[in-house]
Amino acid sequence: MGTLTATEQSAVEHAAAEPMLRQVEAWAAVNSGSRNLAGLATVAGLIADAFAALPGALALVDPAPVDAVDDGGRRVPLEHGRNLHLKVRPEAPVQLLLTGHMDTVFGADHPFQALTWLEDGVLGGPGVADMKGGIAVMLAALKAVEASELGPRLGYEVIINSDEEVGSAGSAALIAAAARGKSAALTYEPSALPDGTLAGARPGSGNFSLIVHGRSAHAGRNPEDGRNALVAAADLALRLKGARYQGLSINPARIDGGGPNNVVPDLAILRVNLRPATPDDEARAHALTERLVADVAAEHDVTIDAHGGFGRPPKPMTADAEKLFKLVAAAGADLGQAIGWQATGGVCDGNNIAACGVPVVDTMGVRGGKIHSMEEYLIADSLAERSALSALTLLRLAGAAA
């Protein structure tokens, strides 16, 4: 371990002593799947009550309007929960952004609902690692900073959104606005590996619904008069899958449409996910998709409308990002924590923050694993470890401008 100043030592001890485990147990006991609006409202209230211990202006903000394509090819409104927004000392010399999410992937009717101690120090449960544990770590670190003499030097905004697990469409604009003018950001996703390794570069992610309109006809009497939307959608799926390359993965995930066996189907919706490795790959993916859509539409004499986009831009490891990672790693070393990082295939709100030109470390949350599964777990000791890491990182970011 390195040598900490008296101010730093006091802050890390303060952070580690916060009642984080009790908070995680209370928050994770309430289902807050991304589509469970009632559960999200309850959890938002609980988290808002906890964050009210911090200074500044706190509000629960309505999501931006979002729509989606249903199985009939119609655009329909898609509801999301409210998002917590806290702004503290906007006049301070150092301005940071901290983000997290209150939603989980486990819906109200999912069988994974209960908390269980899997073994000594390992808590299993929905959202304990991803990321109610991370929210508790964030709050503990901020409370420690507020008790520090360096606290007045630090201004920050906190966004805890309700729709991260479904792409943050209702909160993306809020996050982008909060990122404006910030020197750095920390996001509290769980560590990339159970040993505490951080996620470095990330690819982007785009989700599209490609709505194919053909022409119905009798499958026996006059099939030649029809234009089979299902066949066109299947052809497009195969062409997209075949167009993938090293910097772009493409996953045709689902086709909706079709009908009775004796009718040429006039509607199909192809759902597809594309993951570009770099901004150049994203631009190439746009051009590639447009070309294949036009080719299939012409060949099958159908029309194809595209809905969706790249909600998660690629997050490359820039020089500024590497500098921030090294600051976190140095703080970890001084606490006796070995902190490394590696590229990962997942995406999160860190992608959106990085696209705003703000360096971000987006896996400052707890150590745990098997997220998005019924075996998700939290290593309880990591609550104290990671809150100390965050508190020290925040103090050093605040002190850098001193």
Local confidence band at 402 (pLDDT 50, 70, 90 cut-offs): very low
What element of type H or E holds 205? strand 205-213
pTM of the model: 0.96
Helices and strands, number each (H, E), in the chain: 10, 18
Instruction: Map out the domains of the chain with their CATH numbers.
Output: 6-202+315-399 (3.40.630.10), 205-312 (3.30.70.360)
Give me the half-sphere count of Cα atoms (radius 13 Å) on the Cβ side of residue 347: 27
Look-up of token digits 């500024």 = 320
Give the mean pLDDT of 89-106.
98
Q: What is the largest CA-CA distance in the chain?
A: 87
* Distance, CA of 143 to CA of 152 (rounded, Å): 12
* Distance, CA of 185 to CA of 136 (rounded, Å): 17
What element of type H or E holds 131? none
* Distance, CA of 33 to CA of 111 (rounded, Å): 12
How confident is the model at residue 335, as a pLDDT?
98
pLDDT digits (tens, 9 = 90+) for 358-395: 999 999 999 999 999 999 999 999 999 999 999 999 99
Q: Which of 247, 364, 372 is nearest to 316 (CA)?
A: 247
pLDDT digits (tens, 9 = 90+) for 27-57: 999 999 999 999 999 999 999 999 999 999 9
pLDDT digits (tens, 9 = 90+) for 214-246: 999 999 999 999 999 999 999 999 999 999 999
pLDDT of residue 60 exceeding 60: yes
Q: Which amino acid is at 272?
A: V
Question: What rounded mean pLDDT belongs to the chain?
Answer: 97
How confident is the model at residue 2, as a pLDDT?
79
Cβ–Cβ under 8 Å, residues 275 and 249: yes
pLDDT digits (tens, 9 = 90+) for 204-219: 999 999 999 999 999 9
